[in-house]
Amino acid sequence: MTYVARLSADEVPASRIAGYLGETLDPDDVACTAFAGADGRWHIAAHFRKRPDEASLRALIELAAGKGAAQGLVVEKVAARDWVKASLEGLKPVNAGRFVVHGSHDRASVPDHRIGIEIEAALAFGTGHHGTTRGCLLALDGLARQRRSRHVLDVGTGTGVLAIAAAKLWQTRVLATDIDPMAVRVARENAQANQTGALVSCVRAAGMNAPQIVARAPFDLVLANILLGPLQRLAAPLARQLSPNARIVLSGLLAAQAPAAIAAYRSNGLVLERSIALDGWVTLVMAARASWPRLISR
């Protein structure tokens, strides 16, 4: 048997809850989705391999959408099934600027003038539907109209969608890191499936001192779609690995968390260049000063 946590809400909080659970909980154990019902309400379903801690789950929901939403949570025991695959089978292609994130069944529908990124639904999270991923893709698209990035780092790569996007956009080498060895494997497979395996290097790394990161620094673009806590802890180490005039794209942030992230990076010499708000989430583009010193730890 497995377990499903259900609740209903209006569209915006439902999307926020599903996104926050998807970003916070272990994708190997949980599949989360939001969908519109015939009654006009949106419904969230999170499927767990084991019984979840309801108190912790309510706390996460409250953080994403308030106490009222958390009170509607119901956890039920259900028959076992491949919930990750089932919850994502019906996802449609996602458009974000010139990017189209799609499954293999939609490969032929990607227009020639767009950049297609193929991510299979069965690989769980990081399919582009989440507001943080779409925000990062829009930020990448905007940056490409102003500058060319040649040394790119994707921290917390997940499925590798952002690393693949950068590699396709500039035909440049990208270093993609994640603390989770399963994510590293998935990202590597996705890079190969998208014909960017020669450009995207996927490695396991828990911080900025990994030999592969130090060897490739300084970076003129860093992508970090994770969560506020890790983003704050990485602010100083990331800043030390930047070249002058570099950009950092930060995401995984609820709207209320954006000021704290901005403050952490401002204190390390970066300034806010752009903010993208989608479905209650915020993506930030931070710019390094032209005279930022290259304090690379060797």
The answer as to CATH 3.30.70.260 being correct for domain 2-88 is yes
Separation of alpha carbons 4 and 7, rounded Å: 10
Average pLDDT over residues 76-96: 65
Q: pLDDT-based confidence at 93, cuts 50/70/90?
A: confident
Average pLDDT of the chain is: 86
Quote the pLDDT of residue 232: 95
Separation of alpha carbons 76 and 102, rounded Å: 32
Chain segment 141-178, per-residue pLDDT in tens: 999 999 999 999 999 998 999 999 999 999 999 999 99
Quote the pLDDT of residue 196: 97
Q: Please give the sequence-ordered ranges of beta strands (E in DSSP) within the chain, or none if there are none.
A: 2-9, 30-36, 42-48, 74-78, 94-96, 99-102, 115-118, 152-155, 174-178, 200-204, 219-225, 242-254, 270-278, 281-288
The answer as to CATH 3.40.50.720 being correct for domain 125-288 is no
Lowest mean pLDDT among 59-68, 103-112, 149-158, 259-268: 103-112
Lowest mean pLDDT among 49-63, 122-136, 146-160, 256-270: 122-136
Angle between helices 54-65 and 11-24 (to 10 degrees): 130
Separation of alpha carbons 11 and 65, rounded Å: 11
Separation of alpha carbons 177 and 165, rounded Å: 15
Quote the pLDDT of residue 294: 41
Residue pair 213/155 in contact (Cβ under 8 Å)? The answer is no
Q: Is a pLDDT exceeding 90 seen at residue 140?
A: yes
Chain segment 280-297, per-residue pLDDT in tens: 899 999 999 764 444 333
Per-domain residue ranges of the chain: 2-88, 125-288
Encoded tokens for 181: 């060895």
Same CATH topology for 2-88 and 125-288: the answer is no
Quote the pLDDT of residue 137: 95
Encoded tokens for 56: 């912790």
